[in-house]
Amino acid sequence: MITSVDQITAMHKANVESMQALAARSMAGLEKLAELQMAAAKSTFEDASEQMKALFAVKDIKEFTEMANTAAQPAADKVSAYAQHVYAIATETGSEITKIVEKHLADGNQQLHSAIDAMAKTAPAGTEGMVAIVKQAVTAASSAFDQVNRAARQAVDMTEANIASVAKTAAPTPSKARKAA
């Protein structure tokens, strides 16, 4: 139970530190996305310039057809790689933010249990049953949160496994790309 100004100050300090950590992780993720976006934009501009030069050097329709067939696969590979990088950055940032939030919630849960214990010590006689009900409710809520959190993690793991599987099957091998051309 909060009984002093020092405890209130400590609680607010912990909240501010958690918010600063969340903001720092979010900004780091945004920085990585911005760097990736700039690299992708630069690469796209360079590729487009090279393709335009190659297009102006085309002498006949056969050469144009070959150029068109070979140009599509590298672009698709780059789009796939870009999407994978974005997903990796988002996953990493989300994981870091989740750790911060879980720690903050665990600390808050511990403070709540301490407050309930302090309240139980000072509660009037005959209220033991009510204190027990409050403790059970808090324990049940914590358990439900843990179960939801585990289910969410399982869903994320399954999604990541599916994305990895799709990425492996979607990317054609060089021999398939040559046969298609």
Query: What total of structural domains would you count in the chain?
Result: 1
Q: What is the pLDDT of residues 21-30, one digit of tens each?
A: 999 999 999 9
Contacts of 11 (CB under 8 A, 6+ apart): 2, 111
What's the pLDDT at 167?
Answer: 67
Name the pLDDT band for 177 (thresholds 50, 70, 90).
Answer: very low
What's the pLDDT at 116?
Answer: 78
Of 70, 82, 64, give the one whose Cα is nearest residue 174: 70
- Retrieve residue 13's tokens: 């300090």
Which residue range is the domain that position 125 belongs to? 5-180
**Whole-structure pTM value:** 0.67
What's the pLDDT at 72?
Answer: 76
